[in-house]
Amino acid sequence: MFATSLPWVLIASAATGFAGALFNPAVRAYLAADTGERRVEAFAVFNIFYQAGILAGPLVGLALMFLDFRVTAAAAAVVFAVLTVAQLFALPARREQKAAEKTSVLQDWRAVAANRRFLLFSLTMVGSYVLSFQVYLALPLQAEYLAGAQSQILVSALFAVSGVVAVAGQLRITGWFRARWGTGRSLAVGMAILAAAFLPLLVIPGPGRFGIAAAIVALLLATAVLAVGTAAVFPFEMDTVVSLADRKLVATHYGFYNTIVGIGILAGNLATGAVIGAARAAGADRAVWAGLGLIGVVAAAALYRLDRTQPERAAGDGVRDGNARQEREPASPIRR
């Protein structure tokens, strides 16, 4: 709001990132601790509001930008201040159990790093984030390629399709997947859907053969399928982190997990941007979509293998616990 030079803007950006690094693991750990055996449903509802914010935020920001950037910054600051006060007074207080032995941050991270299955799962899920984040990179670039000067309208349509699918379909998608496959297999199937999202663009990579209208339809279809896959994966992904943590150091596991996937997203986006430019220059547009689809196929196979080799645990504590939980729980409202 008051920054007038690049260094201050960079400092503000870093502060925003630091706040997110503190908030994201904490909110997920809080949600996991307070929802018990209904973690999957809770994370599904959480994702609805998360996606609604992603959908509404840029639209509100653009509207405020027409007034003045300082108005936009002030509005954002007020929203965060109100949310801070609301959380302080509205969230129920939680009394942490006293640990038998106090440990340092370094010891906690060592304990998390020694969790081999968790590390394998985290590395595998990098593929999910690389694919789902293409709604912010590869798909807008495809929109620019197709629509040129009018690309902003098409990009807005992409975000609208993605947000509406997530908000309107999240609970139904989660309930449908859980009823049929449980947690572990739902992750693998969801990842396969993420891979399949790029098939329309593999078939129609540009306007050359079928025309601009068909290319736009293929892009919108890819966006919708990508949103379905993301909605299918997210609640089970968050639940699995808690299970693999064995309900110990849950926030630390989420922080470690976010670090791994964050590095993966950075590397994946850099690679995707470079490949898109090279492929377009070589006239091999299909290579981009084929490569992204292959990432999804490999990650889906890895998740399926992890699920097959997961030791059986009590209901509510394992990657493969979906069906067992259904037998012990009352009917969930998301399955009605």
Q: Which domain holds residue 151?
A: 8-92+107-326
Q: In degrees to the nearest 10, what's the CA dihedral of 200, 206, 207, 210?
A: -40
Q: How far apart are CA 249 and CA 38, in angstroms?
A: 19
The count of residues in the chain is 336
Q: Would 336 be classed as within a structural domain?
A: no
Q: Would 275 be classed as within a structural domain?
A: yes
At residue 303, the pLDDT reads 93
Q: Would 18 be classed as within a structural domain?
A: yes
Q: How far apart are CA 100 and CA 105, in angstroms?
A: 16
Q: How far apart are CA 265 and CA 131, in angstroms?
A: 9
CB atoms within 10 A of CB 26: 13
Q: Would 192 be classed as within a structural domain?
A: yes
Q: How far apart are CA 184 and CA 264, in angstroms?
A: 22
Question: In total, how many domains does the chain have?
Answer: 1
Taking each continuous run of H as one helix and of E as one strand, the counts in the chain are 12, 0
CA atoms within 13 A on the CB side of 321: 23
Q: Would 1 be classed as within a structural domain?
A: no
Q: Would 249 be classed as within a structural domain?
A: yes
CATH of the domain at 215: 1.20.1250.20
Q: Would 75 be classed as within a structural domain?
A: yes
Q: Would 2 be classed as within a structural domain?
A: no
pLDDT, averaged per 10 consecutive residues of the chain (336 residues), comes to: 74 83 85 83 90 81 80 87 87 59 81 93 95 92 88 88 90 92 90 96 89 94 96 94 89 91 91 88 88 95 87 44 40 33
End-to-end Cα, the chain, rounded Å: 47
